[in-house]
Structure 1
């Protein structure tokens, strides 16, 4: 594959308001933008992590029509407080990426929100491999949204992925990603993002 990079981080939540509150309290910065994904019955808000990265809070939209299929990021089974549960990796050829990805990464699905359009790998059951620690793959067909999000100076320093089978997860990621910010460690399933805000660093989980 000619190109793959970390695209954005995903905080999932039962209600959009609670997720936005969690991120804004943790990072001390307001979220901005976002909107509805009509075909998936979800809505989101965004926070800039620089000119090429961003953070997304996403939830099922209670006012939307059911998509008739499982939502991405396993949102139909989401319980508990807001937390960082997923990440997305950008590729320039989604079909090629899927051919290299673990079984269950999903099928390319065309999506759109406002002026943005993309194709994303969505598993049939909504559950990504390695208990969600393997990323969703995305190919943007429009300009990337990151430059349009107000930049408050937050930057991703490190993303730590924890999984009991860390070696297998590393092997699955190896054909795609060479990003020193992403670390895979052995342990209970989970992820944590270390984010610099001004002179401080905070950990978002």
Structure 2
């Protein structure tokens, strides 16, 4: 079984987008860090049982010689929902249940955070994002939601628009009333309850 772990918003300028998002929701984002393997950096927002990650390519990162994850090599335009990441205690078993291969499991570390995460070799989103990225935190790793201050923001809805929405709803081993599947061109939408009221991205 999968559990919603975190939501990723993508942007082209991390600092400017973090300021904009903070103004929209009425809560500050917290320092994240760098992902040297993929040349990205992020800031984070604690939202109860999940967290939000605002991520962008890091202009100061060394060239990696590999595609950037989460489809960021092809990302343009304003900040918007870009990926959803689901947690499991048995990544290998859950990976085998996916309707398409979500990519090999890549081991990553940052400080005392240790995790395995599925990333397609070409950096794309599996099934145009219909299939979530899978993550397994290492035993003993303190989860980011337990490290981040609670912003009091809460996810109301995460909507996966996809041509194969019904198949995804029937196939993915995830039970979460906040996650919805809607038939249509592939994209994501997100609704948050925030100190500034309802915010939709």
TM-score bin, normalised by smaller chain? over 0.9
- Deviates further, 164-173 or 65-74: 164-173
1:19, 1:123 → 2: CA distance?
A: 26
Aligned twin of 1:67: 64
Q: TM-score, normalised by structure 1?
A: 0.91
List runs of 5+ in structure 1 lacking aligned partners: none
Q: 8 Å contact 1:14–1:82 — kept in the other structure?
A: yes
Contact 1:130 1:169 in 2 (8 A): no
C-alpha distance in structure 1 between counterparts of 2:123 and 2:17, whole Å:
20
Is 1:177 matched with 2:178? no
Q: Distance between the aligned counterparts of 1:193 and 1:124, measured in 2?
A: 27
Contact 2:26–2:195 (CA<8 Å) still a contact in 1?
Answer: no
Query: Once the 2 structures are TM-superposed, how far is the Cα of residue 195 of structure 1 from its aligned partner?
Result: 1.1
Residue 4 (structure 2) pairs with residue 14 (structure 1): no
Equivalent position to 2:45, from 44, 47, 51: 47
- Where does residue 123 of structure 1 map in the other structure? 120
- Work out the CA distance in 2 between the residues paired with 1:99 and 1:27: 37
DSSP-derived class of the 2:146 partner:
helix
Which stretch shifts more, 17-26 or 150-159?
17-26
Is the 8 Å Cα contact of residues 25 and 195 (structure 2) preserved in structure 1? no
Deviation at 1:102, TM superposition (A): 2.9
Q: Is the 8 A contact 1:102 1:129 kept in 2?
A: no
- Provide the alpha-carbon RMSD of the alignment: 1.5
Structure 2 unmatched runs, 5+: none
Question: Which residues in structure 2 correspond to 1:134-149 (within 5 Å)?
Answer: 134-141=131-138, 142-149=141-148
- Show the counterpart of 1:30: 28
User: What are the equivalent positions in structure 2 for 1:67-106 lying under 5 Å apart?
Assistant: 67-106=64-103
